[in-house]
A and B are shown apart, each in its own frame.
Chain A
Amino acid sequence: MKSHVIVFPGSNCDRDIAVTIKNISDNTPEMVWHKETSIDTSDLIIVPGGFSYGDYLRCGAIASTSPIMKDIVKKANDGVPVIGICNGFQILIECSLLDGALMRNSSLSFICKDIFIKSKNTNSIFTKNTKIAKMPIAHNEGNYFVSSDQLKKIEDNDQIAFQYCDHNGNINDEANPNGSLKNIAGILNKKKNVLGMMPHPERAAEIILGCDDGKSIFKSFIN
C-alpha cells in the first residue's frame, strides 16, 4: 500500500498516524510537505491533526489554501481515499471536500478525553469494519453544524460516518461531548472515498496506548 501524510506548519499528529499506518500495513507512508504541488499515485492520503497555521482566521482555513491542496482535491474527486483527522477534518471542510462546518465546542472548552463512536454508514472503506470504538478526542472546534437542508441530503445519501455514543452504543445528549448536530463525529463525501473525523484513531491504535479500536478505521487498507 502506498500512502501519504500531508505535513503543514503546526501539524502534530503526522508522525503518530505514520507509525500507525506502518504498524498495521508494514508500509511507511511518505511525508509530504504542504508546499509541494502534487503527490504520486496514492492508495491513501492522510491529512493529520494539529494546529495548522496556529488556527489563524478559522481552524483549517489557511491550510486549505496550501499548494498541495489542489492536487488532494483533484485526487479525492478522482476517487482516491482521503482521511482527515481532527484538524485534518477541519481542513477538508474548509476546502469543500466535505459538507458542513466545525464550530467552537458548545462548552467553550478544549476537550481532551476518551469517547465512544459508532458507525452510522456501514459499507464505506473507512466505516465497514468499525461498530463501536473507543478513542480520544482533543479539540476546541469540533461542534459539527450543517444547515437542515444539507443535513437531509447527507442523511439521505448515508454520509454520516460516525456518531458519538456511550459504551453500549446509545446515541444521546450525554454522549455528545461538543454539541455536534446529531452527535456527528465524522462524515463522508458523496462518493464515500473521503472521510473527516474529529476523534483520533491513531491515538488508540496500540494496546500499549490503552486501546487499539482505532485500527479498525484502517482495516480496509491492510494488505
Chain B
Amino acid sequence: MLAKIHITLKKDVLDPQGSVIANSLKSLGFEGVNDVRQGKYIEIKIDDDDKGAATKRLNEMCEKLLANLVIEDYSVEID
C-alpha cells in the first residue's frame, strides 16, 4: 500500500518561507491569499496487509524520524 505523509510546521511556529510565498502570490495579483504554510510531502510504499497495523508503524516512523514534533505536525493517509 501507498502512504502519503504531510509534515507542516505547528500553527504556533512562525513560517517565514510561508510568509514570503504569500507575499509573492499577492505581488502576482492573486487576491484573498491570507496565510501560506509550507511543508514536506513524503510517499512511502509499505508492505502490510492490515491498514491499522500499517498506520501504527507509519505514525511511529513520523515520530521517530520523519517529523520533528517540537516544531512540526504530521498526517498519514493510506491509499
Contact = CB atoms under 8 A, between A and B. Distances in A.
Interface string B51-75: 0000000000000011010110000
Contacts of A106: 14, 16
A145 B17 CA distance: 16
B20 A108 contact: yes
B70 to A, nearest CB: 4
Contacts of B65: 57, 61, 65
Given A103-B13, A104-B16, A106-B14, A94 B70 contact: no
Interface residues of B, number: 10
B20 A145 contact: no
Interface residues of A, number: 18
Given A57-B65, A65-B65, A147 B70 contact: yes
Nearest to B14: A106
A150 B13 CA distance: 14
Find the residue from B13, B66, B70 having the highest chain A CB count within 10 A: B70
A130 B17 CA distance: 35
Contacts, number: 30
B16 A145 contact: no
Contact of A61 (B17, B20, B68, B70): B68
B16 A94 contact: no
Interface in A80-134: 94, 99-101, 103-104, 106-108
A31 interface: no
A138 to B, nearest CB: 19
A147 B20 CA distance: 24
A58 B68 contact: yes
B68 A146 contact: no
13 contacts: A58-B68, A99-B70, A101-B70, A103-B13, A104-B16, A104-B17, A107-B16, A108-B16, A108-B17, A145-B13, A145-B70, A145-B71, A147-B70
Given A58-B68, A99-B70, 11 more contacts: A57-B65, A57-B66, A104-B16, A104-B17, A107-B16, A145-B13, A145-B70, A145-B71, A146-B70, A147-B70, A150-B70
Interface of B: 13-14, 16-17, 20, 65-66, 68, 70-71
